[in-house]
Amino acid sequence: MKYLFSILLLILLLPMSVSAADSLDGLVAEALKNNPDLKAAESRWHMFERKIIPARSLDDPMLSFAFVNYPTDSFAAGDTPMTGKDFKLSQKFPFPGKLGTKGEIAEQKALWYKGAYDDLKLQLTRKVKDGWYRLFYLDRAVSITNKNISILDDFIRLTETRYQVGTGIQQDVLKAQVERSKLMDQLFTLQQQRKTVQADLDSLLNRPTGTPIETPEIVPVTKVEQPLQELQTISEQKRPLFAAFQSIVDRYKARRKLAKLEYKPDFNIWGGYRFREEAGNDPVDGQDFASIGISINLPIYLDKRDEAVAEADSGIRMALQQYHEFRNRVSFNIHDAFVQMEKDRDLVLLYKTGIVPQADQTFKASLAAYQVGDVEFLSLLDALLKLYSYEMDYYRVLADHERDVARLEAESGLRFMAVEKIDTKPQP
């Protein structure tokens, strides 16, 4: 019965322990749903989408009304046979191709904001992951620091006891107390850094500042299998800003096409109807008149049209240079993130399988030797502090590795999955 109760208690507590840490994927989804900057970027994209149809549409027709041919001496309606009321309806028709080109310019501008929105989602995801892994490191660092403070408390009691019975020296007590104070100072710094990182994450998630965020003790390690050159090539198809920069080039090409079309005239077609007033001397007895006509503008001022074409040509060259500069920058960022990730991956393996276990064994050996009087307390303390430093370094490079992967995802437009969930704790 006792074992049955223990099993039931474990089952009840297990979900609580699993849900205690915030899921990284859940936090990313929450940020993509609630982040104000992302919502603003989405609204900006849709706003410019709404400009496409108006750009392709004709101007509204014009309806005019006029009192025509009223004599100035009397302003009487029946004095002259030409007096009447005019109604006129006109519609402007741009030269064929102009409206379609204006719509293309508006569409390419909307594509830029769509690409900017999609790319902002990548950058927001990177920021959330970067903050979450920083939080993971700080949580582990706080835990390790607290553990070592507890160990130093034991050392202080041990050295005080030895000093009191005459087998130790006061210097050992003072040294242990100084190191404990240093760790307390480190702990306060880590706790302050954690609050800052958490506040930054809360801002990205659009949560109230100070909303608790918990991280697990173990994180999955992400493995990037694609080689560097492949990532740099794939990024040009996957990174949304590449299409966005191409839309700038296409927009200036469309503007050049429109500037060339401005050498062509636009047309204004109109029709009118005059309701004539009856006049006593009118031979046609007040017969109404109808009229129809067409007018065109005369594109004779060529200088301003030449300048518009030259402006569009300069815009094309500028956009192409911006595209190439962005491609070079992405290529460098991918290279930098990749080599940093490889370095951190090697360091994770080195700390996990080599440095930390060896430092742990050294500390345990020093502790055993100190208990029998074979080594001095300073040697034991040095072994403890080295182990502390190496454990902190291990979790730092582990978090840095995942931050490098997140940066690589944002730069390449790809998503890398954790290929293996391993115990990321160093094995003593």
Answer for the pair 209, 199: CB distance below 8 angstroms, yes or no. yes
pLDDT at residue 7, as a whole number: 32
Residue 60 has pLDDT above 60, yes or no: yes
Distance (Å, whole) CA 146 – CA 340: 30
Distance (Å, whole) CA 380 – CA 369: 9
Tell me the average pLDDT of the chain. Answer: 84
Nearest alpha carbon to residue 334 among 412, 223, 269, 279: 412
Identify the band that residue 4 occupies on the pLDDT scale cut at 50, 70 and 90.
very low
Residue 79 has pLDDT above 80, yes or no: no
Answer for the pair 89, 63: CB distance below 8 angstroms, yes or no. yes
Burial class (CB in 10 A: 0-12, 13-18, 19+), 17: exposed
pLDDT at residue 54, as a whole number: 92
Q: Which residue has the higher pLDDT, 10 or 206?
A: 206
Distance (Å, whole) CA 114 – CA 110: 6
Q: Residues 19-54: pLDDT tens digits?
A: 345 788 889 999 999 999 999 999 999 999 999 999
Query: CA angle, 160 as apex, 157 and 166 as ends, to 5°?
Result: 140
pLDDT at residue 5, as a whole number: 33
E strands in 162-299: 267-276, 289-296
When the candidates are 1.10.1040.10, 1.20.1600.10, 1.20.120.530, 3.60.15.10, the CATH number that belongs to 22-58+94-264+299-412 is 1.20.1600.10
Q: Which residue has the higher pLDDT, 14 or 152?
A: 152
Mean pLDDT of 336-350: 91
Q: Residues 154-185: pLDDT tens digits?
A: 887 877 777 677 776 777 778 878 888 888 99
- Two tokens at 214? 């918990």
Residue 421 has pLDDT above 60, yes or no: no
Q: Is the model's pTM score more than 0.95?
A: no
Residue 227 has pLDDT above 70, yes or no: yes
Q: Which amino acid is at 152?
A: L
Q: Which amino acid is at 104?
A: E
pLDDT at residue 165, as a whole number: 72
- Two tokens at 241? 């800003």
Residue 210 has pLDDT above 70, yes or no: yes
Mean pLDDT of 216-227: 84
pLDDT at residue 283, as a whole number: 57
3-state secondary structure labels for all residues of the chain: CHHHHHHHHHHHHHHHHHHCCCCHHHHHHHHHHHCHHHHHHHHHHHHHHCCHHHHHCCCCCEEEEEEECCCCCCCCCCCCCCCEEEEEEEEEECCCCHHHHHHHHHHHHHHHHHHHHHHHHHHHHHHHHHHHHHHHHHHHHHHHHHHHHHHHHHHHHHHHHHHHHCCCCHHHHHHHHHHHHHHHHHHHHHHHHHHHHHHHHHHHHCCCCCCCCCCCCCCCECCCCCCHHHHHHHHHHHCHHHHHHHHHHHHHHHHHHHHHHCCCCCEEEEEEEEEECCCCCCCCCCCCEEEEEEEECCCCCHHHHHHHHHHHHHHHHHHHHHHHHHHHHHHHHHHHHHHHHHHHHHHHHHHHHHHHHHHHHHHHHHHHHHHCCCCCHHHHHHHHHHHHHHHHHHHHHHHHHHHHHHHHHHHHCCCCCCCECCCCCCCC
